[in-house]
Chains A and B, each alone.
Chain A
């Protein structure tokens, strides 16, 4: 098969035993998440501004690098307003329930060969399972605000998240078929050819489904001004709002890390240290997300649901089928043949679906 590797995956076995390993990696993960989220906020604002022919923030600190710090301080100092009829316990718990799963995903992402908090041998399945819990937190936020527009926004969000889980998991399954294991470290180790070349259709489906899950453009209709109010986090202010804002960027970071691990080859690379390659690839994926956000208009809610069920789900199923056939039929020495076949397949399938299916309702007779 295709997982004959050039070196073995190292088990996470550090000197000092289990508890030291856990402590060191917890600190590394927290520092990584906080630092990279700040870098993401800064990159998004500067890169989007330069693409729109203007400067971004450049007054706080040299080149504006302290802008996320200024944002954090502003949000901390704001008054915490709780609506009168809100369900207090649920209102208070919702940001925590939304934020914790986003942080738990980073436990299985490899920064280097063997450098991860827990090398679960069901790694990617754990990621898929934990990332669905965020939807519960969002629904708790929408319900406890006692505002009918927040409830509508939260219900739409849950519908979108649940619908887009299916193509997400199916495209993960294709990658797992090629790699031969569910553990993330093993998947990186077995990428002699990066999987984006072997699975172009899978990459596109995963990118779109992931963007819809984290409510980023072009699927950000819940935070848009075409929606009447700001969605499920309308009634939040102060630190709780900061948690939701952090959830959005932490999930974007998690998605970038997973795409890097699954499709771009994780920490593999020639000259630089592996963790530096990891950071570079994560920033490249995030730059792609910012680029897409700057250019594309928004998709409507019924078009969004139709895209999930009529387009992405059958394409993901067909992708899985054809990958399985190729993995069984093609010997290991001719693995470049898979690249050619997969690209041709991607072009044919996308063109076919674009001609056959219409996305969204038209006008309804009233």
Chain B
């Protein structure tokens, strides 16, 4: 006599016990196995794109901080590059190199949180995330020395940076860069070859190469599926073609590969920072731009590689002090569309792990 089972719906609610913000998943379970998943988001919508039409170009920079609040420098950089391209402003050399240093520091910080949260979702009771937060504290100290704040920096301006770095920044940065590879080694030793983690994460949540390209995934999610695509090499901006670095890729596209790709990217970022520090020229850090910028009428789409993927700004200007239309292509939202396909057939504990390995930030998804 076969037992008749029927699927029942379960709500993994917006107030998550795990991390990653206000996100709701309606899962339909058959026993333990997920047969349908519907993501519901929009709990953090603040109308940023509409607010852009009422702020000046410079006054919108604090709002770009709050999109992906774990990597604010990168968002600032993307927006400033978009406006500079539209207005035809060239940035001084020293500002370009400093922007690269700050963006790569931000990339290390964001990947530390991503890796820590992923291991925390696997169940290691806060030990990995506390170690990663300790490293991130060193980076946040450096960024606080430069800009005065620890999370939403508002440091890049249209035409360069807001001010020059203080003179104790470069020795401290050198000390950080010399120490960091050793700590990455130690954290890898903690959980890289752990048999329980391999049993939980290897082969789980596979995103194939074709699906990843079809849905428009970007960032570590795309690179872990085997596609060697990085905007810093394919379409360089802000002087990235002067540095040499590798692009780590994975083979199968499961959660374990995404974790490994992020750890390898941290190492490459340290390499870029070392080269930028050696080649740093002297000079001004801010170009002379008017107080209220009026770019000529036109439109542009500028994209950069933020830690979570490809962040794009589509900017339409009509020669006034505020943008006519600003649209933000958020990498977390596009990567999230693959969630349903990756999760079907696995269990709830796997669903949480897969969701943690995509690494989204709800500020970007909902804008």
Contacts and interface: CB of A to CB of B under 8 A. Distances in A.
A and B together in one complex: yes
Contact of B349 (A54, A301, A364): A301
B17 interface: yes
A302 B12 contact: no
Interface string A214-226: 0001100100111
A297 B190 contact: no
Interface in B187-211: 190-191, 194, 196-197, 199-200, 203
Contacts, number: 84
A296 B348 CA distance: 20
A21 interface: no
A308 B119 CA distance: 25
Contacts of B199: 299, 303, 359-360
Which 9 interchain pairs have the tightest Cβ spacing? A298-B123, A225-B17, A297-B122, A363-B345, A297-B123, A297-B124, A226-B349, A52-B130, A366-B35
A363 B346 contact: yes
A274 B286 CA distance: 76
Given A302-B32, A303-B199, A294 B345 contact: no
Interface in A211-246: 217-218, 221, 224-228
Nearest to B346: A363
Given A226-B349, A228-B10, A366-B33, 9 more contacts: A48-B125, A52-B131, A226-B352, A227-B348, A295-B127, A297-B122, A297-B123, A362-B203, A363-B346
B349 A53 contact: no
Interface string B328-367: 0000000000000000111111101100000000000000
Given A218-B196, A366-B344, A294 B203 contact: no
B121 interface: yes
B101 to A, nearest CB: 27
Given A302-B32, A362-B203, A296 B196 contact: yes
Given A218-B196, A360-B199, A363-B345, A294 B127 contact: yes
- Interface class of chain A by DSSP: loop
B18 interface: yes
A298 B194 CA distance: 11
A365 interface: yes
A53 B130 contact: yes
A53 B134 CA distance: 9
Given A218-B196, A228-B12, A365 B131 contact: no
Interface in A259-300: 293-300
Interface string A325-366: 000000000000000000000000000000000011011111
A51 interface: yes
Contact of A300 (B17, B33, B121, B350): B350
